[in-house]
Amino acid sequence: MGMGASRTRRPTIVDVAERAGVSKSTAARALAGSSNITEETRERVVKAAAAVGYERNHLAVGMRSGRSGMLGLVIPDIANPFWADVARGAQDRAARAGASLLVFSSDWDPKAEATHLQTLRRARVDGAIVNPVSDSFDDLDRFGMPCVFIGSSAERYPDVSSVGSDITQAVRLGLDHLVSKGHKAPALILGPKSRLARARFLRAVHEHFVERDLDPGVLAIEDGEYTVEGGREAMKRLLAQPRVGHLAVFAANDMMALGAMMAVRDAGLDCPRDVSILGFDGIPSGEFAWPGLTTVAKPGRDIGERAVEGLFDEIEHKPEHRRIYMPCRLIERGSLADLSVTTPRRVAGAGRN
């Protein structure tokens, strides 16, 4: 312990100053990053603080500066690896700036979301990143703090900074790949009709079909929750419908796609010999499925990082208030049969590397 400190109390700035041989105010300014301190003095103070085990009282600092050094993140489903990836990106970017991140999962419940936002306000966070689970808000001022939106609902609020995937680019990427494999009219497994994400996905599909002079009305569509079980049940309903030839399915997220693969196995069928499945999100578990899940991967971690950067701009009162669309990429594994060749073939070992 340093001079003046004891084992029965926490070290103070006075202990640091005594050990470094400087005044209390000089020690405080050195640890606060003041530019009026020489590097030699700053280094001596930092070493003294480490030696006595001193930690700054961030609550007191925040009360003086009006900043807490804490940010909030409210996502709809922490159990979904995609949202966990978003949270990881946000946490990493916040940490690089010396900020802490409080993460909440609303479980797609507007009431839970409201409770989490209230908790963040009480915690006096500097700002929050929110994926709204409701597609409409009566009063945006209810956030009561600087905020950045992520997710589909953000498009309804052009005056709020937001970050998200380029869904139109992503859907076109997936459909173009399906066409290249000989799947011209895939069935769709989409989310609930109440969600804007479903409308955006379906709109992109319709535009793609019209551009190819095809009728989007011929597409088989089943809705479900954005979960494994939701995809499984939707796939069961698709399999119960009359069909001729090979069935290809484009699912609105990977969790649903993995559930669809389970339903195919439950029915005694084979993926991709009997049914081809394309996912959407790029979660890690798709790589370990059998066969490996071909998917359109969204940049979850990058979305989290960019959202934090946008939030810092909001906090500093210098936002551009714009929607940032981040491109997606295709990950090809083994869940799609190639009907463009004479005999549909299966990719041996796909998804196992």
- pLDDT tens readout for residues 103-128: 999 988 888 988 998 899 888 899 99
- pLDDT tens readout for residues 227-253: 999 999 999 999 999 888 899 999 999
Helix (H) or strand (E) holding 280: strand 275-281
How much is the pLDDT for 349?
42
Residue 141 CB contacts under 8 Å (≥ 6 apart), including other chains: none
Q: Is the peptide bond before 272 cis (omega within 30 degrees of 0)?
A: yes
How much is the pLDDT for 42?
86
What average pLDDT does the chain have? 86
* Contact (CB, 8 A) for 136 and 118: no
CA dihedral 75, 76, 82, 85 (to 10 degrees): 20
Percent pLDDT > 90 in the chain is 56
- pLDDT tens readout for residues 142-201: 567 899 999 877 777 778 889 999 999 999 999 999 999 999 999 999 998 878 888 889
Would you give the end-to-end CA distance of the chain in angstroms?
53
User: Is the pLDDT assigned to residue 82 strictly greater than 70?
Assistant: yes
Residue 176 CB contacts under 8 Å (≥ 6 apart), including other chains: none
* Contact (CB, 8 A) for 185 and 342: no
How much is the pLDDT for 231?
97
Our CA angle for 231, 237, 238, nearest 5°, is: 85
How much is the pLDDT for 136?
53
- pLDDT tens readout for residues 286-317: 999 999 999 999 999 999 999 999 999 988 88
Average pLDDT over residues 209-221: 90
* Contact (CB, 8 A) for 258 and 278: no
Q: Is the peptide bond before 216 cis (omega within 30 degrees of 0)?
A: no
User: Is the pLDDT assigned to residue 47 strictly greater than 80?
Assistant: yes
* Contact (CB, 8 A) for 178 and 187: no
Helix (H) or strand (E) holding 238: helix 228-239
Nearest alpha-carbon partner for 183 in 329, 339, 332, 292: 339
Residue 9 CB contacts under 8 Å (≥ 6 apart), including other chains: none
Handedness of CA 169, 172, 174, 176 (dihedral sign): negative
